[in-house]
Chain A
Amino acid sequence: MPKIALPTPLRPYAGGRDSVDAEGTTVGEALAALTAQHPPLQRHLFDEAGRLRSFVNVYRGDEDVRFLDGAATPLAEDDTLWIVPSIAGGAPTTEEAAPPLTNDEIRRYSRHLIIPEVGLAGQRKLKAASVLCVGAGGLGSPFSLYLAAAGVGTLGIVDFDVVDDSNLQRQILHGTSDVGRKKLESAAARLWDINPNVRVVPHDTRLSAVNALDILRDYDVVADGTDNFPTRYLVNDACVLLGKPNVYASIYRFEGQASVFFAEKGPCYRCLYREPPPPGLVPSCAEGGVLGILPGLLGVIQATETVKLLLGIGEPLIGRLLLVDALGLRFRELKLRKDPDCVLCGPNATQRTLIDYDQFCGIPHPEAAGPSEMSVEELKAKIDRGDNFVLLDVREPHEVEIAALPGSVRIPLRQLPEQLDRLDPAAEIVVHCKLGPRSTRAVKLLREAGFPRVWNLSGGIDRWAERIDPGVPRY
């Protein structure tokens, strides 16, 4: 009859013997005979589903039966089976250290708990997780609303802005009564109302190369909800340096794109765009506009990707760029590859710290207004004095329809190169757009084309409406 040799911890169940006889022609039969003789062995050797526990090794001679035929491995009369423990253990991992759910939370998250892919363990992961949302604007609104509702334990928000009327068309985190209030305050109040179990951590600051690493360090996932290139590169670089996933989206008019940049597993934003476009070339939403619903679509995609990353389920958007066209309602996908020469995440990366992102993106320092800048107050004085000059408006016709300054020459920026003959090279020209970026490009273009006396109106028609003439509508 085959014998089974027992390790020290199991011998007490067999009267202290170090081996027992067990009838059977296979490993499975012999083990069944063993547990029939000594029933307490059943729970120590097999799990609730009747499978051999992972830390129980059974050898026939010197061969692990897992590499033979498992329970069906044949046994001869004179064979000996050895039960050999794997001794294993360890400190709690983050997952095990995840906080339990209260009964209130179990009721609140029941629609999650009954999805097998989430379940109690997944919901506890969400509760233990921390996510940073950069910007409480168009993308940050649906993103933070859904993550708070989903039960993400800690939600950090970076924003320094105040709620403005023009935000309300898309930033559904804020309401009409919040206009003039700090976005952070308005956001915290709304998120608290949605789910008081979530800890909202406000970061009342502009994210910069000085503070980014310290702010991002404590979070598991970072979502970029900003609308400018310096911050986009800053968030990307800080995430790569800290080894965090960066859930990215951007929007413009009817189009959006989204991806997950996670340098440990795929490309980063710099692998996609090595360098930012020249300033003013790609208009921001403030300059070019955006369908209010679009950040809803893209922000919800960011929230979905974040929850997937936290739960470790599904296929993340790593190495893929999702292109959303709301007008055609089409979703396209581009494959992204890691740039082997990426200065940040490539094998020969040279950049190990954060840099000056305004300079990198060619944006002049706001205080260091160049010699080509003119303030709205100076323009007002010029008009009042009756100076002889040309006021050039480089905005699009549909913007001129909303608001315009009297007496201006209107040539949209994109038509300016062909319409230079409408302007006198000897004349003094003051160029404006809505906020400044397009007129900055126009000034550069005119100077290069041989117009020496060209000025850029700082802050555009928006600042004129703000400081000089409240009768001009702001849009």
Chain B
Amino acid sequence: MLRFWEKRIKTGILTENLEFDRELEKIKKEIKDKIKKHFAGSLAIRMVDSGSCNACEAECNALSNPYYDLERLGIHFVASPRHADVMFLSGVMTMNMYLHAIDCYNQMPSPKWVIAIGNCVKDLGVFEKTYAIKGNDLKIDYYIPGCPPEPTEIIKGILEFLKTLD
């Protein structure tokens, strides 16, 4: 265990000083009120996969690793839609997930927003329409493109989304 702490101290803090931090610093005042008004100080996200290849989920998981550490910005993923402000939606929206995703959306307290993660949500990405794919009908408030979008792109996307709120 001692060796671990030695390594821990030598490694130091890895979280990268992404542009996001500086930009956030800049608009902090501006969005502070919004976050306070809409999100009670912190932004809670519920992730719903409606038929992706799992790459979008892997990238959202990566947001918690020491390089990105999303929670430092007061943005975190929650376990229940009832705790969420924002739904992250990924995937092509299959027949078998369609009603569950809508259920999940309905469980979220208002005000609520949907952010689309990845190309699949918008136009199925590389996939094509089949009998098993219904396509998304939830209103998308913000769209983060990519296949999958990289963690930095997702963070930037969240920031851009925050700017769109009034």
The judgment on whether A and B are partners is no
- B residues adjacent to A (C-beta < 8 A): none
